[in-house]
Amino acid sequence: MNCREVRALLDDLVDGALQAEERRAVEGHLRGCVECRTSEAGLRALLARIGALPRSIAPAQDPWPDIARRIRTGEVIPLDFAGRSRRWYPLGAVAAAAAVLVVAVALVTAVLVGRERGARVAQSPERPATAAGVTPASLDLAQAQATFDAARTQLLAALEARKGSLSPETLGVVEENLKIIDRAVGEVQAALARDPGNRELPALLMTAYRQEIDLLQRVVQLPSRG
């Protein structure tokens, strides 16, 4: 087996889903290939970290300041393994990244719900309206949403075409996490409709958009099994 063939099977190897003959062939390649062995080790380490995540989130204190800080500084969840090409992504890593994103989105959603019952976030000075109830900021947000919707539609179509090349287990994880992300996006949009002057909600929405598009791009770029 060559590196390309082995990397396409790493997800199944880690999941224990390979047939005995394939497993022996992959393991034989790994014994002699430092690069593929490093990729396997990184994948197993990432999945181990995901397995240690809590199943539910019940923060003891308001985590909103930390979330706002992450938005302002542009911190993102790292999805790459050091030293590996960005054009190859093992299925297990995509599923693991989705799980990390679900935890983050669940936390944001919980905070939004809690803050609706508490004090409102301080609003920025209003910008001149271009029409009744419409500001330049709202127009920018609407344009960004339209761009996101168009890109998401294309990527979902590409994912549909790739389903046959993904393992059922990985596909199930990805699809379920996309549903959870979509629900969280909907809740942020609803909160923004109720509080259009909120400074933090548009940033949260854009962050969710970017991460969902990034996840979809990574899935559709995965190599085929054949």
- pLDDT value for 51: 59
Q: pLDDT tens for residues 145-186?
A: 777 777 778 878 888 887 877 777 777 777 777 777 787 778
d(CA 195, CA 202): 11
- pLDDT value for 225: 53
- pLDDT value for 27: 93
Assess contact for 8 and 223: CB atoms under 8 A.
Answer: yes
State both tokens at 138: 């709202």
Q: What is the mean pLDDT of residues 1-21?
A: 87
Q: pLDDT tens for residues 83-122?
A: 333 333 344 444 444 444 444 444 444 444 444 444 444 4
Backbone angles phi, psi at 190, to 5 degrees: -65, -40
Considering the chain, what percentage of its residues have pLDDT values greater than 90?
8
Over 50: is that where the pLDDT of 23 sits? Answer: yes
* b (16+ CB within 10 A) / e for 140-157: ebeeeeeebeeebeebee
d(CA 183, CA 160): 20
d(CA 83, CA 42): 11
Backbone angles phi, psi at 212, to 5 degrees: -65, -40
Does the pTM surpass 0.85? The reply is: no
- Residue 123 pairs in a beta bridge with 198
Q: pLDDT tens for residues 31-72?
A: 999 999 988 888 787 667 655 654 444 444 444 455 445 444
- pLDDT value for 26: 92
Q: Which residues contact 6 (CB under 8 A, 6 or more apart)?
A: 26, 29, 30, 33, 36
Assess contact for 157 and 218: CB atoms under 8 A.
Answer: no
Q: pLDDT tens for residues 176-206?
A: 777 777 877 788 788 878 877 777 777 777 7
- In the chain, count of helices (H) and strands (E)? 8, 0
